[in-house]
């Protein structure tokens, strides 16, 4: 099955520690295609990063984007996937 990989920028929602905000997400999108189909059979994301700064405290957060969810921890001001 052919696959493709590309860096994309997406709109997301970050929530946790009693807070909620819109954010811009940078991610690597992995698409898998069946035969010669122009539509991917599956899509996955990796290497997530939140591109805009905030003053949120360190803690646990959930990031939602493109019908996907990821659990993040903010440690020393940086968001890390867990």
Are 22 and 13 in contact by the 8 Å Cβ rule? The answer is: yes
Stretch 1-13: mean pLDDT: 94
The residues spanned by each domain of the chain are 3-81
Give tens-digit pLDDT for 30-77: 999 998 888 999 999 999 999 999 999 999 999 999 999 999 999 999
Asked if residue 82 has pLDDT above 90, the reply is no
Three-state DSSP string of 4-49: EEEEEEEEEEEEECCEEEEEEEEEEEEEECCCCCCCCCEEEEEEEE
Are 45 and 29 in contact by the 8 Å Cβ rule? The answer is: yes
């Amino acid at each position: 099955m052919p696959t493709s990989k590309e860096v994309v920028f997406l709109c997301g929602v970050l929530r946790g520690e009693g807070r909620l905000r819109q954010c811009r997400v940078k991610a690597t999108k992995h698409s898998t295609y069946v035969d010669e189909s122009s539509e991917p059979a599956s899509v996955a994301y990796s290497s997530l990063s939140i591109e805009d700064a905030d003053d949120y405290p360190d803690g646990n957060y959930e990031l939602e984007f493109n019908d996907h969810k990821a659990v993040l921890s903010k440690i020393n001001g940086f968001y890390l996937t867990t």
